[in-house]
Amino acid sequence: LKHTVRSGPGSGIILLLSMERARMSATYDRIRGGSTAQEGEWPWQASLKKNGKHYCGASLISERYLVTAAHCFQKTKDPKNYTVSFGTKVTPPYMQHYVQQIIIHEDYIQGEKHDDIAIILLTEKVSFKKDVHRVCLPEATQIFPPGEGVVVTGWGALSYDVLLQKAPVKIIDTNTCNAQEAYYGMVQDTMLCAGYMEGNIDACQGDSGGPLVHPNSRNIWYLVGVVSWGHDCGKINKPGVYVRVTAYRNWIASKTESTTPCMIESVIAVMGVQIDFPVSRWRFLEGTSSNVVFGSRDRLSFLRRSTLMPLVVGGALELPGMSLFSTTAETGGRVRLGRPVLG
């Protein structure tokens, strides 16, 4: 069997209902199936362009770092050849940034499938906003079991006017993926399979390096996988194979400055200090009370005495312990700790 990496010319996320369609898929220039993403729906999705043309996907994990696939840099590793942009279109580039450094996993071997992960360092920080911000990284011990619903996004190697596509898939047990009729033992512990064994939805060529994400119970999205390789696209018994992010969580931390967790257990109220968003919960000290006021319409969850309390942003709520004030309290913005809002 010929196994291909998922960058370069070909289709993007596709929906295949039969083997006949699978054989025909190579003749299509556009994504077959899936659905179009809404603006700001996947704000961490980035387009990695080589010499101005979309080549791979990537995921924003902090203001200056992105995660992608190592095989995206097989032909050239010169940062000057690459740019990164965001949004649902690959052109014109939205919030384009230049690449300062490409960090490829030390054990990656060109043409092989293991350790297919790389980090991109940008020359300047990305200004987080509602439609562009980071995705959370899971802890190394976090488990995403087989059957868990996840979403893969990407453009594929498509014409310039196409919009970002999304496709819901499920994590597949590694033993199932390594069966003789599937990948025959090729899927390692540092990889994971996602899709459908019957051959429905898949990430394909041109989607390499893009995100496979999963929301937790508070709708905070975590980067579960990185599009890596597979046999054709959407073929029966040949689901997509992804880099398992938890297996490389410590490596990512060692190469980046993005160590701030998405789950902040406690915050000390210091006047004027800002913390990265998204933040899922705060633990409030008891003894005093003050207002919590936000200026947007998103929803946040606050932890008070081990009880999650929903807060409709734009209103005020009496909570014990500290005062939080924000003018940009929206996903991807920042939360400012400040003085109590009286009245």
Positions annotated as catalytic residues are 71, 116, 208
For residues 59 and 47, give the distance between their C-alpha atoms in angstroms, rounded to a whole number. Answer: 9
Cβ atoms of residues 15 and 196 within 8 Å: no
Cβ atoms within 10 Å of 12's Cβ, excluding its own: 31
User: N- to C-terminal Cα distance for the chain?
Assistant: 70
For residues 331 and 128, give the distance between their C-alpha atoms in angstroms, rounded to a whole number. Answer: 9
Helix, strand and coil content of the chain, in percent to the nearest 5, comes to 10, 35, 55
Query: Is 45 strand, coil or helix?
Result: strand
Cβ atoms within 10 Å of 180's Cβ, excluding its own: 8
CA neighbor of 242 nearest in space, from 198, 216, 201, 203: 203
For residues 304 and 282, give the distance between their C-alpha atoms in angstroms, rounded to a whole number. Answer: 8
CA neighbor of 34 nearest in space, from 53, 5, 6, 13: 13
